[in-house]
Amino acid sequence: MESRAVLFDRTGGPEVLRLEKVTLAEPGPGEVLVRIDAIGLNRGEALFRSGGYWYEATLPGSRLGGEAAGEVVAVGPGVAEVAPGDAVSVLAVGTTMSGSGVYGDHAVVPASTLLPRPADMDALTGAAVWLSYLTAYGALVEVGKVAPGDHVVVTAASSSVGVAAIQIVAALGGVPVAVTRSADKEAQLRAAGAAHVLVADGGPDVAAKVREVTGDAGARIVLDSVAGPGLADLATLVARGGTLIVYGWLDPRPAPLPRNWPLNIWGYALYALVEDPEALRRGQAFVHAGLRDGTLAPLIDRTFDLEEIVEAHRHMEANGQVGKIVVTVRH
Ligand SMILES: NC(=O)c1ccc[n+]([C@@H]2O[C@H](COP(=O)([O-])OP(=O)(O)OC[C@H]3O[C@@H](n4cnc5c(N)ncnc54)[C@H](OP(=O)(O)O)[C@@H]3O)[C@@H](O)[C@H]2O)c1
């Protein structure tokens, strides 16, 4: 079928993205054709586009995007779990972006990347919730075992994962300590549930300010997506028996190995949760329950039209956001 998709032929800045007419093949075995109504943007896609992600794009003509919401249009041979007309979210965390990226009005995706979208979940929420909240859930609950009263330091707190993490820690009775480089994000981070908002840039700066909050006891969990040279300072904030969970490299400079041993350091990837059916089921149940009782609610920073995809990526990389950037698709 004729469709429109965002493609790029070389790695680079947002300007390498172009919206083009493409011909989509019929879904093959295990695949599903999805009409895309809304797309959740993630920093990993900016890294993939610029060549700094954990796997490389197949060029030229790579697609982009791993998170969306829409409706099943057709299913390929052997697909029994969904049927045409089903409302779904797409959560693709494997190496599928170049071939089945969701930046477009339709995409053919593996059936295994689909999550059911309940009738009361609109496309905006369905595109904004899963990647951030399951990442934060897996890191904080499954790995960190956050408990009531725990201080949890969240760096890059205004990121979509950061806001999800703040809400999850608060919902479980913990004490979210949010770190941002931007003083003008303080009010929104407090409104999201942060008990403390620390405006700081870099490890030593962050460490000094966190100690004013936690004292010498430190934090049970430090959830960090910045890494870089400040990682060793962040590690000193972890209480004995606590965990430093690193899940990103927003600062791509080398990160020294922290030396305040004993220390638990966990390199977290959402993939580990998504490929474990029981853990994924627990994560979905946790997030659905939080959405129902209102303790979890994706914060939509800004929406763009699909035609504005270059501006949307520029906005993401300008670091002014608090929460999730969503692209909507008109049909
Ligand atoms: N491991 C996994 O499975 C997994 C899953 C999802 C996301 N991630 C990673 O998590 C991170 C956040 O992703 P996202 O999509 O939620 O991000 P995002 O929404 O684009 O947010 C990024 C925010 O981080 C802050 N930031 C950016 N560069 C920074 C730097 N060099 N130092 C300190 N802060 C910086 C900025 O806020 P301020 O400037 O105001 O501080 C910015 O608003 C990314 O590294 C992404 O790759 C990993």
Substitution site in 43, 64, 304 for ligand 1 pocket (most atoms within 8 Å of beta carbon): 43
The per-residue pLDDT for 216 is 86
pLDDT in tens, 204-251: 889 999 999 998 899 999 999 999 999 999 999 999 999 999 999 999
State in Å: Cα 72 to ligand 1 middle: 31
| Residue 129 tokens, joined | 């919730």
Of 193, 131, 187, 185, the residue nearest 325 (C-alpha): 131
Residues 139 and 257 in one domain: yes
Question: 288 in a domain, yes or no?
Answer: no
Interval between CA 217 and ligand 1 midpoint (Å): 27
Q: Is the CB of residue 319 below 6 angstroms from any atom belonging to ligand 1?
A: yes
Q: Are residues 61 and 114 in the same domain?
A: yes
Phi, psi of 2 (to 5 degrees): -75, 135
Residue range 3-20: mean pLDDT, rounded: 98
Residue 203 has pLDDT above 80, yes or no: no
Domain hosting 94: range is 2-129+299-328
- How many structural domains are present in the chain? 2
Residue 205: the pLDDT is 87
Please give the distance, rounded to the nearest whole angstrom, from the Cα atom of residue 55 to the centre of ligand 1: 18
* pLDDT higher than 80, residue 272: yes
Amino acid 162: pLDDT:
98
Q: For position 191, what pLDDT does the model report?
A: 98
pLDDT digits (tens, 9 = 90+) for 74-99: 999 999 999 999 999 999 998 999 99
Q: Are residues 36 and 82 in the same domain?
A: yes
For the record, the structure tokens of 42 come out as 């993630």
What is the pLDDT of the chain when averaged over all its residues? 97
Indicate the pLDDT class of residue 325, thresholds 50, 70 and 90.
Answer: very high
Residues 81 and 205 in one domain: no
Instruction: Label residue 174 by pLDDT band (50, 70, 90).
Output: very high
**Neighbour tally for 214: CB within 10 Å:** 17
Q: What is the pLDDT of residue 61?
A: 97
Could you tell me the distance, in angstroms and rounded to a whole number, from the CA of residue 162 to the centre of ligand 1?
8
pLDDT of residue 154: 98
Pair (158, 240) in one structural domain: yes
Q: In angstroms, rounded to a whole number, what is the distance separating the alpha carbons of residues 83 and 86?
A: 6
Question: Does ligand 1 have an atom closer than 6 angstroms to the CB of 137?
Answer: no
The pTM of this model reads: 0.98
Asked if residues 86 and 73 have their Cβ atoms less than 8 Å apart, the reply is no
- Three-class DSSP category at 169: helix
Ramachandran angles phi, psi of 94, nearest 5°? -85, -160
Ligand 1 pocket, 43 CB below 6 A?
Answer: yes
